[in-house]
Structure 1
Amino acid sequence: MAESKPRARIAPYHQPAAGWGALKHVAISLVKEKVAGGKYRTLFRQNQPDGFDCPGCAWPDRQHTSTFEFCENGVKAVAAEATSKRVTPAFFAAHTVEALMKESDYELEQHGRLTDPMVYDALTDRYVPISWDGAFALIARHLNALGNPNEAAFYTSGRASNEAAFLYQLFVRLYGTNNFPDCSNMCHEATSRGLPGTVGIGKGTVTLDDFEHADTLLIFGQNPATNHPRMLGELRECARRGATIVSINPLRERGLERFASPQHPVEMLTLGSTPIASTFIQPKVGGDFALIKGVAKRVLELDDAARDAGTPRVLDLDFIAAHTSGFDAFAHDLRAESWPLIEEESGVPREQIEGLARIYANGQRVIATWGMGLTQHKRSVQTIQMLSNLMMMRGNIGREGAGLCPVRGHSNVQGNRTVGIEEKPTQAFLDRLGRVFGFEPPREHGYDVVETIEAMLAGRIKVFVGLGGNFSIATPDTPRTWDALRACDLTVQIATKLNRSHLVHGKAALILPTLGRTEVDLQNGVAQGVTVEDSMSMVHISYGMNTPASPNLMSETAIVAHMAHATLGSAKVDWLHYAADYARIRDAIEQSIAGFERYNERVAQPGGFHLRVASRERDWQTATGKANFVPHALDTDTPVHRAKRLYGERVMTLMTTRSHDQYNTTIYALDDRYRGVFGQRRVVFIHAADLAMLGFKAGDWVDLTTVWDDGIERRADGFLLVEYDIPRGCIGAYYPETNPLVPLSSVADVCNTPTSKSVPVLLHRSAAQAAAA
């Protein structure tokens, strides 16, 4: 690599989040990516009505006409896409796959944009050029040679537009399978599976307007400063008008302490900042379920006391009577729960739980938001349902300024699910799709991410197609996932930049380069817009403005259409007709999916339109016709419990997390400045008392091994110990470096999400350090 490696150091960060530090790193990113002068103007069209939607997170836009509707990480995403660096056929001619495998994920990212379709040549261990027609013919040949359509799996990243995703699911279902592993399976699947059982639909119930009216916000398992920085602007406004904000997270994140808004000149010029959260609760990793149940128990006790004293009740009895089912059974379960067990399992003292319950009970309009800190545990579905229970106790669903707010990661992960990327589709969806397109869709449920890896290992999946993403690195149990991909007859990766999944490939392999969100998408000389749905169910359109990185790129939508045309022909569906004008795809979505009436007309309005969420209107689409209280017992026999019974307090519970210079698996740089980590990524955050108990000190190097019961050794070597404010018995480290420690069989109940936030591990002094000693 031409760039020098940054100096590794640990240096605590004492400044507010964002501010001048964010602007400095925006400039660094633009320079490092060698963004050409004209493309700087791209930023001023980001999240604008006549511009493009940010390819980063799914946080919605407050002012769709604001000049500065972008953030530090959004700029990094745009800079990475607008880079002038290129990965050409000449690059592949100069590098074998074996040589590229020795580079880090950060180094692979730095090579730049892919320019041409490439096919793997086993004789030379290199990718070589192939024509687009040749690539599509190769895909069709492999797919049509399979004995059963279920021998192929079709992965989707959350960056895919509604148009590409809808055409993709239509192609795959006409081909004959529901094998749709997607990034939802690894992040918010607990939300998608948990909320329908309580409120009837797996989406949040709030819009940004509700944040203007909320007086209390409970933020569970989130680090907005890194994962969705524009949310901090919203929280800043809430804090400044006096709303109570509570951060509930094992890590006390800098962005929820103080925030300096780059969009407010006075704050910047005076070096000022705004305090965000007034209360910090740090449950142990995996302790949120017990904590939320403890808060609910205390709210019930407060209501009992109010009833006995003849004072106003704490529960919203009118809401419970008119809109809910199952409250009596839920209340009975709460009363029977043990306070000592709640304290033990949550890791939070009773007085803090009672304090949080008072904050919640005093709030008249409460929003509960959450990220993957709640969704990547064995009991994640139960946790989401317990949070729904808590919010229903005081009627905080379906009224202004209150509600449930899951914050999705990738920009269109929610939209993909809405338009049909779903391995377990409803019969109603399939019925309507079949009527519109005149075919009988497959009814058998397909494979999710974990099931796809297991099927590849067993030889049941022979063709893998990835529409975006970095499957080999995003997934758990890295060595086993790599074995699975290499067992395939064909792997196809549709991508903008080189990543690890292009190097961990099947016997035959294709890299298909695609347009980015920032680039002009011309079909028959007409610029096309693509649509996305954000975390709050707003659908808006996006037009690229940059010249494509290569004249040989195709859009994701066009690639899907050509794959379908080559594989199935166009007698049933005229794929190329749809790809020639994306408005036709939106018309097809309107016919196939409820809620998209007048799609093209409504999405043309500035800001787009809101997809109806029935639970927001207290329309409960459940079997009971009401919102359901769902009781759940505390679980004292999880894999972490069993590991501790074997090894005692030596077992640490690992949570994987992002660094600040990272988006999903994309590594922009080697810093995590808000946590004080610079020039490195192989670090473990650990409590000072655990360092002493284990016989280590900050600055020691360790290897990590997983405690599991299948006889497979899982390890990750060479990590620096960093003393940090994290609960006892818990450690944090970055993914994908620690994904090898997550067992494939370690999944959440009901939703099958990998439990990447609760991995039982042991720490060993690293072999290199031991030898040096």
Structure 2
Amino acid sequence: MSASQDEAGGRETRAGRETRVGPAPAGEPEFEPYHHPAAGWGAAKSVTRFMSREGALVDGPRAILRMNHENTGFDCPGCAWPDDTKGLHLDICENGIKHVTWEMTRKRVGPEFFASRSVSELSGWSDYDLENQGRLTEPMVYDPETDHYVPISWKDAFDLVGSTLRGLDSPHQAAFYTSGRLGNEATFLYQLMARELGTNNLPDCSNMCHEASGRALTASLGTGKGTVDLKDWETTDALFIIGVNAASNAPRMLTALAEAHKRGARIVHVNPLVEAAATRAIIPHDFRDMATLHSTRTSNLNIQPRIGGDMALLRGMAKALLEQSSADPKALDREFIDRYTAGFEEYRAACESASWEEIERQSGVDRAAILQAARVYREADRSIVSWCLGVTQHEHGVDTVREIVNLLLLRGNLGREGAGPSPVRGHSNVQGNRTCGIDHRPAPEFLDRLGEVCSIDPPREHGLDTVGTIRAMHRGDIKVFVGMGGNFALAAPDTPYTYEALRQCELTVQVSTKLNRSHLVHGRKALILPCLGRTEKDEQRGGTQSTSVEDSMSMVHLSVGMKRPASPHLLSEPAVVAGMARAALPDSATPWEWYVEDYDRIRDTMAQVLNGFEDFNRRVRLPLGFRLKQPARELVFLTPSGRAEFSAAPLPDVVPEPGTLALGTMRSHDQWNTTIYSDNDRYRGVKNLRTLVFMNEDDMRERGIAKFDPVDITSTAKDGSRRGLNGYLAIPYDIPRGCAAGYMPEMNVLCALGDYSTQSDQPIMKHVKVTITHAA
């Protein structure tokens, strides 16, 4: 990778096609548009091939029969879609099975592996090859003299963490990152450790995905979560799915979509790309449909806005309702608006002032299609709006989520069965992490209870989020970075800058199950601390332990591992946290070791600190666990006005400048977050290729670009700096003009760290300003 200065004086970085994440391609790149139902036999064949490749043809099926089973099985470590409420025995999906199989692999990465390979050598490996080596088996420490990781005892590893933290000038020189995989009990101990140390530097993956949702819902409704559950999905009349690629990122949603269509509910998908989940599906556990190849429609209407055009589309739907309300009194629920909301007249004025011409221009959707969507919404007695990162990873993500709430409020779609907002969280227990205290901006009331119950004096000043942490590491202000799960180096934006930041640290600690890039991009001192996976038995002094997780719809339930641990040297996540805490806080009155002996003890403390967790140990063992109350679901709004708040934000200008395109980063189908299973993307018709960019055919023609032509992609940040990728292959795709798309984490190089939303502080990874030209 080379670096040079651009004309504006900012930094320009470029990366070529040799920068790889996935495995070596199995053959020449192929592309044919996908025209088949989602899931079905394609998913079954893919899973079988994957289990065979990983040597899991015995353990894999055993895991399938235990995954997502209430209180006796383990929670899928993939997405956060809720478990079936009616006793379904195969509540599973293709990506969930792959994720579990990837964790249950028989391959191992022990001391002998590191002894024969330096960090410099491993840095040249693809990220696929790193993870494909298997499970980490014991703690390792980086030896700078040999450039190798070498074994270290757990005691010495904890002592290194503790002595380094105790030697800091301020606890604010440490940051404690969390990925969504961490269970609730470990989460609670982790935030307790950070706050007893004296900092709220608790960045997490929510800072990069649904921060906008939480802030918007809190401002509008007084709660940072959705209000609906699966029963609502089973009774609604209309579903609006916005910025969601369900077939890949929340595949079990396909069941809900297919069942909704069968009972006559209307389904509208809003996405720049018409994804496989927005057409038809064959549900694998529906044996009759599998036998007869009978597919079910999962959509009645597909609308393709330009990237960033969702807010204008929603404003257009609201404008249509308001215009129709004079002739159709049922277009609005005036009784609900008058009784439960504030700011309606200001919102009406904002809708009236937005011309149809501007709404069409900003959304990229013609008026007729907007009116069609508005008609589906008006004719439904009960509607749910569901969304994911296609909505949130924008500068105006908060305003767009608030616009979703505006639309729901107009027809009283809140506080009743089958209606409400339903964000789709992308990672198992990412919502539970936030519920259980991972928040760099904690509420004073939470800190009061934590301090009283745990006998500590928690810090009150806000800490650093993900973007703030990366900047502080780069400046040298953060000297210790601890990562609980995930692959921070690849997940974060502006990859070269993030690498530089991590290397500035005095110590980096990664708690992981598999080798990944974050172990090779490290501080002057570095530890790899291997932990149990979700599928593995957790034996402590008090017996076999269970952990709890919270799904995307606020259900809290237990997860119990089934498999012998990959190594006798692995520790559980709570044990790792407690070990670091005791070493860093040797005089702490917190009974860290006592907590780890029996997780019921952790839950008893959580029950005293966390709202909604009263009688935690009993309720979490009920069938299906329990649902955390959402005040807004009961029409109790914890807002300044005590009402649901309309937002009258102006429409943002999202139309690309002449010659530029708006690029969105996304996952392929054969991928989960930064973990790449292959170079294929079955649902988009791609084989043997990840270094690609999807483009509108007219945009390609205008630039003289043909299918599979190599192109250079250059992004321009707000500060004028440029970043680039060289030699990517162009793929013609059904995407609106002015838009392009490609895969993360490869394209994170293009996302400037300084380009984060001023509304949510999220990196802007779905609306990157780029130019695309023939490769030089």
TM-score norm. by structure 1 comes to: 0.96
Taking only aligned residues, the RMSD between alpha carbons, in angstroms, comes to 1.4
Residues in 2 aligned to 1:382 and 1:155: alpha-carbon distance in whole angstroms: 27
Structure 1 stretch 449-458 or stretch 34-43: which is displaced more? Answer: 34-43
User: What letter corresponds to residue 732 of structure 1 in structure 2?
Assistant: A
The count of corresponding residues between Structure 1 and Structure 2 is 754
CA contact (8 A) 2:38 2:277 kept: yes
1:28 equivalenced with 2:37 (yes/no): no
Change in 2 beyond 3 A, CA 1:539/1:198: same
CA contact (8 A) 2:713 2:772 kept: yes
1:80 equivalenced with 2:102 (yes/no): yes
CA contact (8 A) 1:380 1:749 kept: no
1:437 equivalenced with 2:454 (yes/no): yes
Instruction: Name the structure 1 match of 2:527.
Output: 510
- CA deviation string 1:200-237 (max 9, x = no partner): 10100101001121010000000110001001001110
Q: 1:38-77 alignment to 2 at 5 Å?
A: 38=59, 40-49=61-70, 50-63=72-85, 65-77=87-99
Structure 1 stretch 1-10 or stretch 437-446: which is displaced more? Answer: 1-10
Residues in 2 aligned to 1:255 and 1:360: alpha-carbon distance in whole angstroms: 20
1:328 equivalenced with 2:345 (yes/no): yes
Q: Secondary structure at the match of 2:142?
A: strand
Residues in 2 aligned to 1:59 and 1:432: alpha-carbon distance in whole angstroms: 30
Deviation at 1:4, TM superposition (A): 7.2
Residues in 2 aligned to 1:204 and 1:314: alpha-carbon distance in whole angstroms: 24
Change in 2 beyond 3 A, CA 1:681/1:456: same
1:424 equivalenced with 2:441 (yes/no): yes
Instruction: Name the structure 2 match of 1:95.
Output: 117
Question: Where does the alignment leave 5 or more consecutive residues of structure 1 unmatched?
Answer: 307-311, 768-773
CA contact (8 A) 1:174 1:439 kept: yes
CA contact (8 A) 2:22 2:676 kept: no
Q: Secondary structure at the match of 1:705?
A: strand
Question: Where does the alignment leave 5 or more consecutive residues of structure 2 unmatched?
Answer: 1-20
Instruction: Name the structure 2 match of 1:532.
Output: 549
Deviation at 1:764, TM superposition (A): 2.5
CA contact (8 A) 1:330 1:630 kept: yes
User: What letter corresponds to residue 411 of structure 1 in structure 2?
Assistant: S
Change in 2 beyond 3 A, CA 1:391/1:3: closer
Instruction: Name the structure 1 match of 2:665.
Output: 656
Instruction: Name the structure 1 match of 2:516.
Output: 499
Q: Secondary structure at the match of 1:492?
A: strand
Q: 1:234-633 alignment to 2 at 5 Å?
A: 234-306=256-328, 312-524=329-541, 526-569=543-586, 571-633=588-650
- CA deviation string 1:217-272 (max 9, x = no partner): 00000011000100100111000111100000000001220100111111111111
Instruction: Name the structure 1 match of 2:715.
Output: 706
Instruction: Name the structure 1 match of 2:162.
Output: 140
Residues in 2 aligned to 1:155 and 1:439: alpha-carbon distance in whole angstroms: 21
Instruction: Name the structure 2 match of 1:680.
Output: 689
Residues in 2 aligned to 1:216 and 1:38: alpha-carbon distance in whole angstroms: 40
1:724 equivalenced with 2:733 (yes/no): yes
Residues in 2 aligned to 1:507 and 1:588: alpha-carbon distance in whole angstroms: 37
Q: Secondary structure at the match of 2:647?
A: coil
CA contact (8 A) 1:47 1:64 kept: no
Deviation at 1:332, TM superposition (A): 1.3
Residues in 1 aligned to 2:458 and 2:189: alpha-carbon distance in whole angstroms: 14
User: What letter corresponds to residue 654 of structure 1 in structure 2?
Assistant: L
Deviation at 1:651, TM superposition (A): 0.5
CA contact (8 A) 1:244 1:278 kept: yes
CA contact (8 A) 2:51 2:60 kept: no
CA contact (8 A) 2:22 2:127 kept: no
CA contact (8 A) 1:111 1:498 kept: yes
Q: Secondary structure at the match of 1:295?
A: helix
CA contact (8 A) 1:63 1:69 kept: no
Instruction: Name the structure 2 match of 1:217.
Output: 239
Residues in 2 aligned to 1:39 and 1:473: alpha-carbon distance in whole angstroms: 28
Deviation at 1:439, TM superposition (A): 2.0
Instruction: Name the structure 2 match of 1:771.
Output: none
Deviation at 1:635, TM superposition (A): 2.3
CA contact (8 A) 1:557 1:579 kept: yes
1:742 equivalenced with 2:751 (yes/no): yes
Residues in 2 aligned to 1:443 and 1:406: alpha-carbon distance in whole angstroms: 29
User: What letter corresponds to residue 234 of structure 1 in structure 2?
Assistant: A
Deviation at 1:38, TM superposition (A): 4.3
User: What letter corresponds to residue 392 of structure 1 in structure 2?
Assistant: L
Residues in 2 aligned to 1:618 and 1:165: alpha-carbon distance in whole angstroms: 30
TM-score norm. by structure 2 comes to: 0.96
Residues in 2 aligned to 1:570 and 1:542: alpha-carbon distance in whole angstroms: 33
Residues in 2 aligned to 1:691 and 1:560: alpha-carbon distance in whole angstroms: 51
Q: Match for 2:142 among 109, 120, 123?
A: 120
Deviation at 1:428, TM superposition (A): 0.4
User: What letter corresponds to residue 203 of structure 2 in structure 1?
Assistant: P
State percent identity of aligned pairs: 51
CA contact (8 A) 1:109 1:668 kept: no
CA contact (8 A) 2:40 2:281 kept: yes
- CA deviation string 1:7-30 (max 9, x = no partner): 232133222111011111111121
Deviation at 1:765, TM superposition (A): 1.8
Deviation at 1:525, TM superposition (A): 6.1
Instruction: Name the structure 2 match of 1:666.
Output: 675
